Amino acid sequence: MKHILITGNEAAAWGARLVEPQFIPTFPITPQTECIETLARWKVEGDLPGTDFERMESEHSVMSAAIGAAAVGARVFTATSSQGLMLMHEVLYIASGMRLPIVMANISRGLSAPVTLWSDHNDFLDQRDSGWIMFHAENNQEVLDMILQGYRVAEDPKVLLPVMVNMDGYVLSFTDEPVIIPSYEDVKQFMPAYDPQHTITPDRPVTVGPPVMDEYTDYKAQAHLASRNALTVLKDIQDDFEKIFGRRYHTVDEFMLDDAELVLITQGSMSTTAKAAILEMREEGVKVGLLRLRVIRPWPGEIICKALQNAKAIAVIDRNIAPGKGGIMLPEIVETLYHSNNRPLVSGFIVGLGGKPQTEARIKEITRKLADDLASGRPRIEWNDLEVS
């Protein structure tokens, strides 16, 4: 174990290094490049002895090669971002449909056009129905830890689905943070050697990905159940993780929720800013808390309901936009609360598109507006954060 200052990209590379994948197909895209450059350098320096590092000609081919290698029974890691993830879109469904436990880091970046290099969450939220398990990290330590946990979930026989570990571009990918690098011994204890459930060997011919008829529904139902299983599996994994590494994660991150009347629902790196703002608002007597979505798929609806049982008003802060509809996570939260005994008021705020910074002042402004909404009994959907910046 050692404590070092590294970027989110390097944290993802460290996660991959520690699990010793057999194959890493790559294609560069800003802001993911540093992750694969780090792996390429480690490869030539002899730090990745059992790993094949390959350059592909597109992200589509990255995921295609990942599928080929995972289908024969190899452990695979890769990383991408934004347009690259969109180019993979077709094959993401194939990876999950074939039930291949690939783990991929996605360094989120807004989608063209117009071009932006900065982060928002449209790239990976566009993949939310692809059958992948989707995590979203708040900081660089969590990036590394999510990759370790990701392999455990992906390779669990009750799950066998690919896992995407998302982090915000630039804010995490290019920012140094102190990160604890676990030892290989601890990682081996957490995650024994890969024993693939499905392989292709010379003496055992198998067919992968054939056409089916009515069975299609059964395959999709099984993949859905497997994704739901991940919620249970994840709980056990988090217990193991805490025992070995001493850090505890929960399926959703709850911050000062016990007595909170106003709740902000956030994702990713802006949660750290929001938590700092909440600490200050608490000093002023505002009963505000935060719920951070860190597992997007499978959707932890029941856990979210339980965490929000005392909330009176909720602000869903979406760093994404579904034009013609609004924020993507807002309806997911509203649907979840529809089945809850507690039906708080829910307002939606669309913020931070294309990396527009979210300051503590902005978070306080949203909280004030949420308090107004609660007082007036009228929820709002605010999509233009220019007016308060």
Partner 1 sequence: MQPIKSIKDIPELDLFTGGSSVCAGCGPSMGLKLALKVLGPKTVIINSAGCMTLLPLFPNTPLKVSWIHNAIENAATTAAGARHGLDALGFKDMNVVVYAGDGATYDIGFASLSSTAIKNERVIYICYNNQSYGNTGFQCTTATPYGSETKTTPRGKENPIGNTNIHKDMLKLMGVHRVYCATASLAYPVDFLNKLNKAKERNGFSYIELLGTCATGWNFDPRYTIKISRLAVRCGMWPLYEIDDRKLSLNKEFKQLKPVDEYLQLQGRYKQLPPDGVTKLQSLVNEHWAQLNEFNAKRYV
Sites of contact with partner 1 (CB under 8 A): 22-23, 25, 50, 52, 54, 56-58, 60-61, 64-74, 76, 90-91, 94, 199-202, 205-213, 215
Q: Distance between CA 203 and CA 212 in Å, rounded?
A: 25
Cα 216 from chain centroid (whole Å) = 28
Q: Which is nearer to partner 1, 198 or 250 (CB)?
A: 198
Q: Which is nearer to partner 1, 50 or 114 (CB)?
A: 50
Token duo for residue 302: 């029941």
The helix/strand/coil state of 247 is coil
The helix/strand/coil state of 305 is helix
Cα 267 from chain centroid (whole Å) = 9
Q: Which is nearer to partner 1, 56 or 305 (CB)?
A: 56
The helix/strand/coil state of 201 is strand
Q: How far apart are CB 280 and partner 1 at their closest, in Å? A: 50
Q: Which is nearer to partner 1, 16 or 70 (CB)?
A: 70
Q: How far apart are CB 217 and partner 1 at their closest, in Å? A: 13
Q: Look-up: residue for tokens 């910046």?
A: 389
Where residue 131 falls (left for φ over 0; alpha for ψ -120 to 50; beta otherwise) is left
Q: Which is nearer to partner 1, 72 or 117 (CB)?
A: 72
Q: How far apart are CB 227 and partner 1 at their closest, in Å? A: 21
Token duo for residue 51: 């790993």
Q: Which is nearer to partner 1, 61 or 175 (CB)?
A: 61
Q: How far apart are CB 73 and partner 1 at their closest, in Å? A: 6
Q: How far apart are CB 331 and partner 1 at their closest, in Å? A: 31
Inter-residue contact 146 to 106 (CB < 8 Å): no
Q: Distance between CA 351 and CA 54 in Å, rounded?
A: 37
Q: How far apart are CB 132 and partner 1 at their closest, in Å? A: 16
CA distances from 12 to 138, 144, 389 (A): 13, 5, 32
